[in-house]
Amino acid sequence: MRNKFTRADSRLFSKGLHTALYEKLGAHPCRSGGKDGVRFAVWAPNAQQVSLISSRNGWDPLVEPMTRGSYGVWEHFSPGMVQGDSYKYVVVGADGVSRYKADPVGFWSELRPSSASIVWPLEGYEWHDEEYLARVRSEDPVAKPMAIYEVHPGSWKKDYRLGPDGFLNYRQLADELSDYVLYMGFTHVELIGICEHPFDGSWGYQVTGYYSPTSRYGTPDDFRYFVDTMHSRGIGVILDWVPAHYPKDNFGLEHFDGTPLYESADPLLAEYPQWGTLAFDHAKPEVRSFLISDAFYWVKEFHVDAIRVDAVAAMLHTNFSRDPWRPNKYGGSENLESIAFLRQLNQSLTEGTGAYMIAEDSSIMQGITAPVSEGGFGFKFKWNLGWMNDTLEYLKLEPIYRGFHHWQLTHTAEYAFTENFILVLSHDEVVHLKHSMVEKLPGSAGDKLAGLKTLYAYQFCCPGKKLLFMGQEFAEEREWSEDRAIDWGFPNDPWHRDVMESLRRMIGIYRSWPCLYSDSSNPVTFEWVNSTDSMRNTVSFIRRNPWNWEGAVLCVFNFSGQAYENYDIGVPVEGWYKRIFSSYDTMPGETKGDEASIPPLVSSPEPCDHYENRITYSLRPYEAVLFALPQIEGQRK
């Protein structure tokens, strides 16, 4: 049995320091007075009365009134209630209005459009990932390869034999998805929409059940099985999480006890008009405790490896999507309370669990991934949205015009090492009439597919970790929709399969060559060979290890539809340059051969670019090609 809410809990809660509220609040099966039942506890400090209504008591608010305890926490033991029973709270607010509320710390929920919470114990699942956790929690993820497959579970695959929505259960999804992730070579999955949400079209970014794995795909234990299975196969699990805002659904957190309890009482800070949602008031220590405990909950109770924090930019500034807006006490737009919350969250979670946080942040705030002890925010990684936006804007242009926008391809290297970045091609870029990834590119169908392969190779060679949204790997042609599965017919087409297999091979190269992932915050790992060949739409650079030139790779990209016979490339040392990857290697009809069968190029002692030596290669249209530098022959890790 989980302990009752005590005075010690009150002190931690009131100071914003509680990291395990889920052990004290919510619904916990237990035995009391010689009877089995469930103990309920909910924070509603300004309520006049709170009652439990449930599937056991006929949803009658007069049957089971709750008792006000320490620090505005209402408690009640309901004999006879068991796992699987549904319930809500009737909260008579400070304004005298009765509100029917789901449990803010409920551990499971009814499937939408129903909205009651469901009793589900925290105990009972037998984990099998101890060795995995011991290993990864002792490693620095910055020093490891990271290729993330971003997944919306409800639309990765569907099986309409399972129900009207076609949702796969977490267990079925675990087995099928882990097979696919292993085949492709991704190191992590990032899950969209796991926290319970009422509207499918929000993709899970408007949450009503912060402690509840969505019932769309099964029970909390089914989700534990999902994580356990991923870990058993060496795959990390990242959870999308939204501590910035929540929807106004009447059964949720909005005016929970008749007052703005979780949101701010200040009308200039209470909402995000752009999204029509309410903003968490991070100035309140109880709200900080609620959110920090929630992060701990997903790590400790579900063993997730990392949490990706959505909408960080919205939390950093009080003027985000607001007009008028409230300046801070110094007259600036920085949201001082939210900044303090993020620093506390990152530091406490990392120190307390060994897990880490990832920031989805479009702001120009500095130090997002710097340690809190050094004045930073303490995130382990930050999404590089600037790289994504600039690279895609460049590639949307016809090649004849790209030369005039070459800076969009090259200037991101200027700040590539200012944070620990993840280069993302995310779900946000293939929705709302932005077109699918392949349909963003100009030209014929062949041009689009060839250009997409080069984009992916470029992504995996540039500094930073990597993320790709599902369906992009085989060049799905439609925009993504949460209402349908991605189109698994495309991998059966040889040209779309070529994109998939080229990416798969590139992921393997990325994971095999440390110079491609040992780069965060270390500019020495990246060196331009030629960044100024704008009118031919080519760029080339060298990736090397931080410690020496052993294991370095020369990366060359042709973003035009033109072939360049006898293309000269400057190289830093003389010797034999072995081709280890070309985006043409997997094409239908291409002569296949292993690396040993491809003759190396020998350098010439002739100046080229800013080097004393050169190699010459016939660069094909839209080709990405990688060469191993001479020092590393036979020494690849």
Q: How far is CA 431 from the centre of its chain?
A: 17
**294, 217 in Cβ contact below 8 A?**
no
**599, 470 in Cβ contact below 8 A?**
no
What is the C-alpha end-to-end distance of the chain, expressed in Å?
Answer: 50
Beta bridge partners of 553: 543, 628
Q: Nearest Cα to 182, choosing from 211, 147, 210, 215?
A: 147
Give the pair of three-digit tokens for residue 452. 């997409």
Residues 6+ apart with CB under 8 A from 61: 51, 53, 90, 98
The CA-based diameter of the chain, rounded to the nearest angstrom, is: 91
Residue 330 burial (10 A CB sphere; 0-12, 13-18, 19+): exposed
- 60 catalytic? Reply is no
* Residue in the structure block whose two tokens are 């903003």: 279
Query: CA 414 to CA 406: how far, in whole Å?
Result: 14
Could you give the C-alpha distances from 435 to 428, 430, 485, 545, in angstroms and in order? 10, 5, 16, 37
**413, 526 in Cβ contact below 8 A?**
yes
Catalytic residue among 263, 310, 473, 585: 310
How many CB atoms lie under 10 A from the CB of residue 108? 27
* Residue in the structure block whose two tokens are 């700040």: 415
Measure the CA dihedral 457/558/500/356, to 10°: 20
Could you give the C-alpha distances from 375 to 79, 308, 309, in angstroms and in order? 51, 21, 19
Give the pair of three-digit tokens for residue 238. 């990242």
How many CB atoms lie under 10 A from the CB of residue 33? 7
Q: Nearest Cα to 331, choosing from 318, 313, 340?
A: 318
Catalytic residue among 360, 361, 473, 476: 360
Q: Give the three-state DSSP class for 541.
A: strand
Query: CA 322 to CA 255: how far, in whole Å?
Result: 21
Query: CA 538 to CA 628: how far, in whole Å?
Result: 19
- 310 catalytic? Reply is yes
Query: CA 448 to CA 634: how far, in whole Å?
Result: 36
Beta bridge partners of 538: 558
Q: Nearest Cα to 31, choosing from 77, 87, 85?
A: 77
Query: CA 577 to CA 603: how far, in whole Å?
Result: 7
Q: What are phi and psi of 337, to 5 degrees?
A: -70, -40
Q: Give the three-state DSSP class for 491.
A: helix
State the catalytic residues: 310, 360
